Amino acid sequence: MRSFLTHSIYKVKELMPHSPSALKRMRSNVRKEFQNQGVLSAIHTAKRNFRAATDKTKAKELGFALISLVDGAASQGVIPKGRANRLKSRVSIHLNKLNVRSSK
């Protein structure tokens, strides 16, 4: 009947909401959780690809793509702004070690 109840954290009976607005909030939280997981998964994949890149031009492209993903996630509130800034700083440090100039 309600597909959101199949989520693992809502199988405990005590977590069932008592009001219609709380039920709606629970559904929206589940939707947002799945969307956030997709964004975080994309960031982790981009980080992994960036670290694996050995070619300077490929690393530059992947680095700027990663920074763009991180900025988007921070603006959406998926990750905190401090974490985004720290990750962008680490990406730029890695690019500087490869002697890649940021001339877009």
Query: Where do the domains of the chain lie?
Result: 16-97
Its CATH class, for the domain covering 16-97, is mainly alpha
Among 12-21, 34-43, 53-62, 91-100, whose mean pLDDT is lowest?
A: 12-21
- Our CA angle for 81, 82, 85, nearest 5°, is 85
More confident residue, 100 or 68: 68
Residues 69-79 as b or e (16 or more Cβ within 10 Å = b): bbeebbeeebb
* Alpha-carbon distance values, 55 to 7, 51, 52, 65 (Å): 42, 11, 9, 15
Residue carrying structure tokens 């960031």:
43
pTM of the model: 0.75
Answer whether 68's CB lies under 8 Å from 91's CB: no
